[in-house]
Amino acid sequence: MTDAPTKQPRAGTKAGSVRALIAKVPTGWITGGVTAIFLAVTAAFGGLAPAPTPALATLEPGQEHVNDLLSMRLDRAVLMDSFPEAGAIAGESERVLALSIHAKNVWTSPIITTAEQSVSQALRLEKLGDQSPAAVARMDDATASPWLQPGVEAELVVTWVVPEDLFADGDTVEVVVSDATLFTGKAVTYGASWVDAKPAARVLLPATDVTLTGGAGDDE
């Protein structure tokens, strides 16, 4: 007796079965599977490449930088043995680097210059990383940690105590200027503050050692 031939499934029947099976698979499983495959392939080729960091704009001395909080012009940088009048006292093997700047509060409320949300947050020396200024004072009357009223420009001196061999006369001082973001508290916290400062520009200032010129760095 001859066996009956085996009935072969039609291609269309196979495709229909696959479609039916896929239709029963939860969407989350499909998404997770695709994600896993993507991550595996990415790892094989060295991982996800980091997004390129935008180059900082380079400003000239006296050129204005404006963000939502401050307008600033960095005019010059001077080196001196100590500057107690401005709140910066150098110790052994240290000196003071002072920046002469013009700053204006462009926000709607008064801000104190030494708060983390203000000048002390906005300015950093590239060679000192994230070290905050030692002091901020008014140039005209030496008032320490002055307040900036909205729309009123003030001439300030911003100082750091630095190792004595960090800068010399004629060296370029790179100052990084950061922009902060306004945060308004809700629910648990209230009020407004400026946070998440990120580098936005740099200013290159030639350093003048006033002990060599015999003055305080003023124009003749």
* pLDDT per residue as tens digits for the range 79-132: 999 999 999 999 999 999 999 999 999 999 999 998 866 899 899 999 999 999
Residue 19 scores a pLDDT above 80: no
Spatial distance between the Cα atoms of 189 and 208, rounded to a whole number of angstroms: 46
Distance CA 55, CA 199 (A): 10
The per-residue pLDDT for 197 is 85
Whether the predicted pLDDT of 217 surpasses 70: no
Beta bridge partners of 83: 88
Measure the CA–CA gap between 12 and 14, rounded to whole angstroms: 5
User: Rounded CA gap, 117 and 193, in Å?
Assistant: 7
pLDDT on residue 196: 82
Which of 11-20, 37-46, 176-185, 204-213 bottoms out in mean pLDDT, i.e. has the lowest? Answer: 11-20
In this prediction, residue 192 carries a pLDDT of 73
pLDDT, residue 23, reads: 52
Structure confidence by residue, pLDDT tens digits, 69-89 = 999 999 999 999 999 999 999
Query: Average of pLDDT values for 33-45?
Result: 54
> What pLDDT, in 10s, does the model give residues 159-194?
999 999 999 999 999 999 999 888 876 654 456 778
Which among 145, 158, 137 has a CA at the least distance from the CA of 203?
Answer: 158
Which CATH number applies to 57-213?
A: 2.60.40
What is the predicted pLDDT for the residue at 40? Answer: 58
The residue extents of the domains of the chain are 12-44, 57-213
Q: What is the share, in percent, of the chain residues with pLDDT greater than 70?
A: 68
Q: What's the predicted TM-score (pTM) here?
A: 0.72
Q: Phi and psi for 2 in degrees, rounded to 5?
A: -85, 130
Tell me what the mean pLDDT of segment 122-148 comes to: 96
For 34, the 3-state DSSP assignment is helix
